């Protein structure tokens, strides 16, 4: 009989709490450019664990505000870095989780909106910043940011939806741009973006949604884990990218939950807490967040229910204004 693997809740809490104390580690500075995203991942994991008070709210908000990039008019991942759509969304998500959007002055909100909209291109796509990299990830970042701030407009939404539609593939998935290979992360960013603006059903047909569901459920491999693309290894983060997308399109039951649950639990570190990409590997906050969020989507381990569209607790997202 297989040994029953526990969910090491307390270990994960300790792991997340300790993350900002390792300032002497190379890894801490190597990931400086992901810091604000890391705070979001850590905080979201804590929310799922019903322990959001483990981080000091005041300190976190101060950190977020310290990431303001005055020159570009939005949030950078760390003080002194450049603003980017990735870090802008994480900053706004953190403030929303703490119910503290009001710490942003009207001028700052306007500046964020300007930053976001200035990165939309003629075809409706978004570049992450002036460097010019285009990816449907940034479309999600942009629309989610504006949604949380209550600033979505048809001038932004309509061309973005048109662009997303062009990124739909023959196999049912979505790529980073038209013609790009399907990828689970991009499936989430495209479907999530459509859901945020309330245009999922009018953009994709029932057949297209079915094909997407098939493409996504095929991501489950024999050991129960989910991969991002055909023939790739399973990775815990796809517990989120795949599962959340299936949840959004109403096909969550197309995944074998017990097998996936087992795979995620096996990827925990029983000594120091945290979750790695797959069993036996080094843990990190990114995979810890999405592993726990995946468990929440499956409704196991007594976790706070998480909104698959925003990757934030439902008790937060229900306050967001719906775009019509």
Binding site for another protein (CB under 8 A): 26, 29-30, 32-33, 76-77, 80-82, 84, 86, 121, 123, 128-135, 166, 170-171, 175-181, 183, 213-214, 217, 220, 229-232, 251, 253-256
Q: Are 151 and 113 in contact (CB under 8 A)?
A: yes
CA dihedral 6, 252, 190, 283 (to 10 degrees): 10
The one-character DSSP state at 271 is T
Q: Are 84 and 77 in contact (CB under 8 A)?
A: yes
Least CB distance from residue 31 to another protein, whole Å? 8
Give whichever of 154 and 230 is closer to another protein, judged by the CB atom. Answer: 230
Give whichever of 139 and 317 is closer to another protein, judged by the CB atom. Answer: 139
d(CA 316, CA 324): 19
Give whichever of 96 and 298 is closer to another protein, judged by the CB atom. Answer: 298
d(CA 91, CA 65): 8
Least CB distance from residue 295 to another protein, whole Å? 17
Which residue matches tokens 């493409």? 215
Least CB distance from residue 6 to another protein, whole Å? 25
d(CA 234, CA 88): 29
Least CB distance from residue 121 to another protein, whole Å? 7
10 Å CB burial of residue 208 (0-12, 13-18, 19+) is: middle
Closest to 275 measured CA to CA, from 86, 13, 3:
13
Least CB distance from residue 318 to another protein, whole Å? 29
Q: Are 242 and 182 in contact (CB under 8 A)?
A: no
Give whichever of 289 and 312 is closer to another protein, judged by the CB atom. Answer: 289
Least CB distance from residue 158 to another protein, whole Å? 18
């Amino acid at each position: 009989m297989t040994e029953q693997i526990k969910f090491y809740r307390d270990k994960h809490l300790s792991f997340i709490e300790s993350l900002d104390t390792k300032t002497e580690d190379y890894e801490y500075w190597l990931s400086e450019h992901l810091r604000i995203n890391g705070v979001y991942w850590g905080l979201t994991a804590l929310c799922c664990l019903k322990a959001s008070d483990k981080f000091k709210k005041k300190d976190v908000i101060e950190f977020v505000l310290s990431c303001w990039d005055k020159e570009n008019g939005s949030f950078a991942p760390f003080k002194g870095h450049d603003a980017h759509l990735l870090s802008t969304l994480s900053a706004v998500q953190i403030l929303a989780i703490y119910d503290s959007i009001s710490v942003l002055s009207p001028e700052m909100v306007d500046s964020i909106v300007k930053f976001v909209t200035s990165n939309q291109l003629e075809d409706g796509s978004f570049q992450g910043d002036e460097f010019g990299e285009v990816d449907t990830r940034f479309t999600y970042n942009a629309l989610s940011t504006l949604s949380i701030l209550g600033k979505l407009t048809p001038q932004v939404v309509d061309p973005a939806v048109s662009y997303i539609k062009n990124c739909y593939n023959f196999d049912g998935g979505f790529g980073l741009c038209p013609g790009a290979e399907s990828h689970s992360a991009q499936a989430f960013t495209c479907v999530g973006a459509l859901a945020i603006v309330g245009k999922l059903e009018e953009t994709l047909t029932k057949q297209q949604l079915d094909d997407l569901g098939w493409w996504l459920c095929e991501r489950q491999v024999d050991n129960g884990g989910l991969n991002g693309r055909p023939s790739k290894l399973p990775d815990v983060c796809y517990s989120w990218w795949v599962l959340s997308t299936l949840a959004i399109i109403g096909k969550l039951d197309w995944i074998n939950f017990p097998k996936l649950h087992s795979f995620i639990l096996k990827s925990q570190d029983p000594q120091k807490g945290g979750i790695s990409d797959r069993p036996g590997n080094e843990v990190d906050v990114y995979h810890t967040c999405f592993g726990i969020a995946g468990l929440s989507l499956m409704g196991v381990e007594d976790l706070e229910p998480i909104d698959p569209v925003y990757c934030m607790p439902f008790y937060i997202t229900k306050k967001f204004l719906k775009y019509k």
